[in-house]
Amino acid sequence: MGQQTSFSSVSEATLLKLAQKSRLLPSSFLIDDLGSERRLVGGGGFGDVYQGNLTSGEHVALKVLRIHVGGTVRDRIEKDFCREALIWRQLKHPNILPFIGISQTAFPGQLCMVAPWMNNGTILSYLESHPASDRKKLLTQAALGLAFLHNRSPTIIHGDVRGANVLIDNNGQACLSDFGSAILTDSLATITSTSVHVRGNIRWIPPEVLNPGNEDFDTVRKHPAVDVYSFAGLCYEIYTGKVPYYEQRAGGAVMMAVMEGLRPKRPDVNLILDDLSDSTWNCMEKCWSQNPASRPTIQEVIMTLENAGPNVCSRWSCR
């Protein structure tokens, strides 16, 4: 078993290296049964998201690489696209958004990743339309998805855990999505990342990653503690409906607060959207620890969520 794991680790990293260098993906990734439906539903940075369909009629999400630049920037974007596709393709778990494949023909001259369409949208939009949902259960499901990533060999760091990247499937289950910031942590991991720039949103990024003077940046960003810190921010979103540090509009002020060890305060009971137990809040505070070594593992977080009992009167539980 040890030899098999080692071989798998080396094979995955080698495949990533080859794909990034050539900016080509294995032919097994390609699909050719997309229908003609296209509806733009979102976008940003270097990508757009469309709702499309397969020839069977099934709705799918199309993540299209949009490039209007050349040179080294285009080269980096294409390499990052290949890295995301290769990492995502390996992940099969009930709480991970499934990867269907890659299309080279849906948008001429542009690469396109295909995934199932989630009618319920993100966990944030789902809770807006289903406010009485069990938030603890949804968070536990998202944590199970993270545990799957962290327990793999090689370990995968998601790198951008927040409400916008948690989708709700047709069965009402939470699924992690968007692996554009994901990192492999094995010994060959240096070949799986094409940029040392900080990715994600600073409201969910831990201090050791934000620190511009951190000489061990490449090491600390490959530790599961990065995702655990971000998970506390996800919990804050789900229980309050607000982003961490919502009082601060300027990114610089948020970054300063994070670096100084200041964390969001426990919200007033009137602002809580569901039962937020003492044990859950204490766990969130541990996840937000300034020292990565002081943070719990995601498995410990799951145990806390599963054992947490309601001891706060929320606006829904008290009706």
* pLDDT tops 80 at residue 186: no
Supply the residues annotated as catalytic. 160
- Other C-beta atoms lying within 10 Å of the C-beta of residue 294: 11
* pLDDT tops 60 at residue 14: no
pLDDT one-digit tens code per residue, 54-63: 999 999 999 9
Q: How confident is the model at residue 2 (pLDDT cuts 50, 70, 90)?
A: very low
16-23 long-range CB contacts below 8 Å, 24 or more apart?
A: 16/82, 16/83, 16/86, 16/87, 16/184, 16/191, 16/192, 17/188, 17/191, 17/192, 19/82, 19/83, 19/86, 20/79, 20/82, 20/83, 20/191, 20/192, 20/194, 23/75, 23/78, 23/79, 23/82
Contacts of 242 (CB under 8 A, 6+ apart): 236, 271
More confident residue, 227 or 25: 227
pLDDT one-digit tens code per residue, 258-310: 999 999 999 888 778 778 999 999 999 999 999 999 999 999 999 999 998 76
More confident residue, 41 or 188: 41
More confident residue, 230 or 220: 230
Note the pLDDT of residue 319. 41
Report the share of the chain in percent with pLDDT over 90. Answer: 58
The pair phi, psi for residue 156, each rounded to 5°, is -115, 130
Averaged pLDDT for residues 187-214: 68
**Shortest CA distance to 15 belongs to which of 30, 6, 25?**
25
* pLDDT tops 80 at residue 214: no
7's tokens? 């071989």
Longest Cα–Cα distance of the chain, Å, equals: 59
Q: Is 261 exposed, middle or buried (0-12, 13-18, 19+ CB in 10 A)?
A: exposed
HSE at residue 109, side-chain half, CA atoms within 13 A, is 4
Note the pLDDT of residue 266. 94
More confident residue, 17 or 48: 48
Q: How confident is the model at residue 193 (pLDDT cuts 50, 70, 90)?
A: very low
How far apart CA 277 and CA 2 sit, in angstroms, is 41
Q: What's 121-306's CATH class?
A: mainly alpha
Q: Are 177 and 42 in contact (CB under 8 A)?
A: no
pLDDT one-digit tens code per residue, 95-141: 999 999 999 888 887 889 999 999 999 999 999 999 999 999 999 99
Note the pLDDT of residue 281. 96
Kindly report, as residue ranges, where domains of CATH 3.30.200.20 are found in the chain.
17-116
Q: Which residues are annotated as a binding site for ATP?
A: 63
Averaged pLDDT for residues 200-225: 86
pLDDT one-digit tens code per residue, 48-86: 899 999 999 999 999 998 766 566 767 777 788 888 888
Kindly report, as residue ranges, where domains of CATH 1.10.510.10 are found in the chain.
121-306
* pLDDT tops 60 at residue 187: no
**17-116 has CATH 3.30.200.20 classification:** yes
What pTM does this model have?
0.86
Q: Which residues are annotated as a binding site?
A: 63
* pLDDT tops 80 at residue 17: no
Cis peptide before 154 (omega within 30 of 0): yes
